[in-house]
A and B are shown apart, each in its own frame.
Chain A
Amino acid sequence: GESVGLHLPTLSVQEGDNSIINCAYSNSASDYFIWYKQESGKGPQFIIDIRSNMDKRQGQRVTVLLNKTVKHLSLQIAATQPGDSAVYFCAENRGTGGFKTIFGAGTRLFVKA
């Protein structure tokens, strides 16, 4: 079946280290991918996106990598800070008679001081 999922449900990193959160998707027709961050008690917040004609995109302290061959994307957070502690979701945008955003299960990131 179609799914967007994550390899690890939780990730614990030391403050200042880099974090890598992985995501696998199964629909090769998806052409737009987004990472969202969700803090406790809040709705998901956009972090960074990437289109399928790219394999890397950088933002402020974050980088998204897309490997279409193996249907995998990752979110890299540089110099992880306590404020980065949250659940991170990858989402894919699919268009089959209408475009909709499908979310994966999420990875909880813990940052240790």
Chain B
Amino acid sequence: EAGVAQSPRYKIIEKRQSVAFWCNPISGHATLYWYQQILGQGPKLLIQFQNNGVVDDSQLPKDRFSAERLKGVDSTLKIQPAKLEDSAVYLCASSLAHERGTEKLFFGSGTQLSVL
């Protein structure tokens, strides 16, 4: 079974530039998540989709971050404009069901973003 695919693997940009990350979840997984992981910290949930609808985006800095999941399959996360503090690993995860007690997440390898 193919895992969660993410690209690019690494990205280096200057502050105020824009960047986009792509994620393809495991086939059949209805729920997709974007997490931000700053070095030395645990992953922080940015946004959670159920099919193509947003379930939770309370932690997404909406003035600069946006995400979409068209057709309920793959997803893109965009940052525009980037700030130095956005340097982090952006992890995409998917799960089979959005039900109580069944949210075992499967993660991709992440995109490591460096903002200079």
The interface of chain A, by Cβ under 8 A from chain B, is 4, 31-32, 34, 36, 41-46, 49, 51, 89, 91, 93, 95, 98-106
Contacts and interface: CB of A to CB of B under 8 A. Distances in A.
Contact of B105 (A41, A44, A95, A98): A44
Given A91-B42, A103-B42, 20 more contacts: A31-B101, A32-B103, A34-B103, A34-B104, A34-B105, A42-B110, A43-B93, A45-B107, A46-B105, A46-B106, A49-B104, A89-B42, A89-B43, A93-B103, A100-B45, A100-B48, A101-B103, A103-B35, A103-B43, A105-B42
Given A32-B103, A43-B110, A93-B101, A98 B55 contact: yes
28 contacts: A32-B101, A34-B104, A34-B105, A41-B109, A42-B109, A43-B93, A43-B107, A43-B108, A44-B91, A45-B107, A46-B105, A51-B101, A89-B42, A89-B43, A91-B42, A93-B103, A95-B100, A98-B56, A98-B98, A99-B99, A99-B100, A99-B103, A100-B45, A100-B48, A101-B45, A101-B103, A102-B45, A103-B44
B97 to A, nearest CB: 10
Interface of B: 4, 33, 35, 41-45, 48, 55-56, 91, 93, 98-101, 103-110
B98 to A, nearest CB: 6
Contacts of B99: 99
Contacts of B35: 103
Nearest to B110: A43
A100 to B, nearest CB: 5
A52 to B, nearest CB: 9
Given A99-B100, A100-B48, A101-B105, A43 B41 contact: no
A85 to B, nearest CB: 17
